Amino acid sequence: MKRDALNRALPAILMAAALFILLLAISPIPDTAEKKREHNQTLEQTMHASWQNDLRARYPDMMERIFSPSPERAEKLVMAAAFALLAGFMLYFAAGRIKTPVILLFFAVALTAGMVIRTLSLTQFHNTDYLYCLGPWAQDFRAGGWGAIAATWSDYNMPYLYIIGFIARIPLNDVYLYKLVSVIFDCGIVIAGLRLAQVFSLNELRKSVLGAALFLAPTVWLNSSFWGQCDSIYAFFCLLALVFVLENRPVLTAVMAAIAFSFKLQTIFLLPIFAVLWMVKRVRWWREIPVFIGTFFITLLPAWMLGRPLASILQIYGNQTQTYASRLNLNSPSAYALLAVDEPHSVLFGAGLILAFCYLGALLLIAWLKRDQISDRALFLFALAMVIGIPWLLPTMHDRYFYLADLFCIVLAVMIPEKWYFAPFCVFASYAGYHAYLFGRYVSHVGLAGPSLLMLFLMGSTVVLLLSELRREKPA
């Protein structure tokens, strides 16, 4: 056993060392005062003057950290080392499941490419999400310590605020630290994907292709290392929940789902799968529901002990749903991208809610009627139908709300090669929303209507595939 561990560790160590040197060489993080000034000139040109004046008045220390001409060799070293270690760990994990050297080499090359892309994306942080939210939140923790969590300045739930609290204590540029956290969970998604491939008994080549595709998907690395968003965190726990339920470990399934929900409200797109799991007796309501609720409240406990009122914590998700209630669509390839109107309209808003509930109800009815024919693959298809269909029908969806759909479509494309088109279609449609927000323009002259129709096609194709799977006799 020690020999096997050594055989797995050696290529991982060699890869990490070589990757560290490569990433250090290509890193765009400025390491001299002169380069930092050049970088800041570009940054200042992208920021509206009123933004700079407002932020300098409210958060002078934060703006000093952003625009300081001091060298950043420490950040460069830390990020290169962290990315190299993460890649080495992923290769070590994969080596326990992929024994063929050529296939393992392919996976290592994909990891290298993914880390190079993420390294080159690190300095692309000049957007309003950091300037008005993430940066000030970290600054509030620096000024007020852990007691800052008692204030109501953030609309993110408590677990992510704990992460921000730790980021605020590290004497490095928090822009890069935010992105590092998200990249860590990018790697977690790859590991969870390899676990899922093991559950579905995929061969070594498909395992490596799945891991590579998850790591290189544009909407994954754009979300983390370019944009600095944190969707990889809740998605990682959602994937683990799916892995554990397929491994018949229901308590861990409930724990992972609760942690995912504690990070992001978007977990609700997947949570209805628990109703299907109850129908097929994979979970017990009297056991897993208390575990879910208990785990969720445990994640909130530190904030409550630090002075945040419980009522304030429990109102966060409700407040989130109201923040953008004035918009039917926020750069999402949902059904509302097909409409010419975006202003609030009670009839359209209500119609979307009704259609989403009817769609979900239809899926659950199918599950009940076919509960004796639901295989592991059918369970996965139910989950996929939910994470595509529910956000497509609901109003006020954001550009990032098909993140889970992207990951699940990639898994499906590798699991059933005849359905290869699910991955590029879904990732492209989702990317169209990213592109509209990040670059201020649509990918085509039809706006998001084309991507919306792609999502509709995938939703319908998933339901058809699900019904076909349910007609098959469940394996013993």
Co-location of 366 and 467 in the same domain: yes
Q: Minimal CA–CA distance to 223: which of 83, 406, 67?
A: 406
pLDDT, tens digit, for every residue of 117-161?
999 998 875 567 787 788 888 888 988 899 889 886 778 899 999
Are 18 and 118 within one domain? Answer: yes
Choose the final residue of a domain: 267, 293, 322. Answer: 322
> Residue 185: what pLDDT?
98
- Whether pTM exceeds 0.85: yes
pLDDT at position 455, please?
Answer: 97
Residues 283 and 376 in one domain: no
Residue finishing a domain among 322, 347, 370: 322
Is residue 59 included in any domain, yes or no? no
Range of the domain at 79: 1-29+72-322
158 and 188, same domain (yes or no):
yes
Kindly state whether residues 293 and 341 are assigned to the same domain: no
Between CA 260 and CA 324 the distance in angstroms is 22
Q: Check whether residue 136 and residue 101 sit in a common domain.
A: yes
- Same structural domain, 337 and 288: no
Residues 9 and 111 in one domain: yes
In a domain, 314, yes or no: yes
Contacts of 87 (CB under 8 A, 6+ apart): 15, 16, 19, 111, 112, 114, 115, 187
Q: Is residue 42 part of a domain?
A: no
Taking the CA atoms of residue 21, residue 23, residue 28 and residue 30 in that order, the dihedral angle to the nearest 10 degrees is -40
The answer to whether 15 and 104 have CB atoms below 8 angstroms apart is no
List of the chain residues with pLDDT < 50: 50, 69-70
Residue 250 and residue 372 in one domain: no
Establish if 34 belongs to a structural domain. no
Q: What is the pLDDT of residue 321?
A: 84
The last residue of one of the domains, among 301, 322, 343, is 322
- Do residues 170 and 72 make contact, with C-beta atoms less than 8 angstroms apart? no
Q: Given this model, what pLDDT does residue 69 score?
A: 44
- What is the count of structural domains for the chain? 2
Q: Indicate if 449 and 347 belong to the same structural domain.
A: yes
413 within some domain: yes
- Do 302 and 381 fall into the same domain? no
Whether 43 is covered by a domain: the verdict is: no
Query: Which pLDDT value is given to residue 91?
Result: 94
User: Does some domain include residue 49?
Assistant: no
Give the pLDDT confidence score for residue 29 in this predicted structure. Answer: 82
Q: Do 282 and 174 have their domain in common?
A: yes
Q: Which residues contact 438 (CB under 8 A, 6 or more apart)?
A: 127, 222, 226, 227
